[in-house]
Amino acid sequence: MKHYPFILFYIFCNVFIYAFQGTFWVYLFCFLMFFAVIIWGSFDVGLNYFVSSFNHKRTKIREVALTFDDGPTEYTPQFLDLLKENNIKATFFCIGKQIEKYPETFQRIIAEGHTVGNHTFSHADNTGFLSTSKMIEEIEKCDEMMLKTGNLKTSLYRPPFGVTNPNIARAIRKTHKKSIGWNVRSLDTVIQDENKISHNITKKLKKGSIILLHDTSEKTYKVLADLLVFLKDKKYSTFTIDNILTAKETKDF
């Protein structure tokens, strides 16, 4: 977490400016810069500003992780069919209320050997404004649904929208989760053109990339189909998050 050292640095800068009789505009500029860094750190999980997240794998071979957020949904079985056809395992960060809505699909994800992570119970739009206790409730309620529906426990957690802050950081610590980010964001929930989404992924792809996708639309299903062809042509293999974190605990990557 880089937040608290940065606060100390900010205070030091203010003391330094005060000692040399800085003007109001200098103080205002420093405050705006400080505020901008806080906002940036909150919305970019890859910065590890509030929470230390696993965002990519250090590796010398061509391998990537396929991760899917916000499921299970009515589209998830199509994704599972495609992954099964290509003998690929992925990581699904599931929402508790979606598990409740599609229990059979969640059970199938587990049965077919994919990794599962916690993506909170409701994936609320105001996640970034929730208290620590409410965030803990969101995480634990999703854990309970996973255990009830799939007899599964997971230490993996992905922050909704990639948003982190001190409350979320405390909730992650108190629930003993490992925060999982990404370094390739498909933007498949924003971009409508499938070709643009595919290009957005492949142009950023490198060894050890963690790719963020969503098993929530026919559009992304088609993107996945094209991506699997691309990975095969470029001789990329895949890894799941649980396997790499287990390995990381036993040796330094």
**Catalytic residue set:** 69, 214
Q: 201-205 long-range CB contacts below 8 Å, 24 or more apart?
A: 201/227, 202/227, 202/230, 205/64, 205/236
Other CB atoms within a 10 A radius of the CB of residue 94 amount to 33
- Report yes or no: 157 and 180 within 8 Å, Cβ to Cβ: yes
d(CA 152, CA 107): 10
- Report yes or no: 70 and 124 within 8 Å, Cβ to Cβ: no
Cis check for the bond before 72: say yes or no (omega within 30 of 0).
yes
| Local structure of 209: helix, strand or coil | strand
- Report yes or no: 162 and 201 within 8 Å, Cβ to Cβ: no
Angle at 125 between CA 119 and CA 131, to 5 degrees: 75
d(CA 179, CA 117): 10
- Report yes or no: 149 and 41 within 8 Å, Cβ to Cβ: no
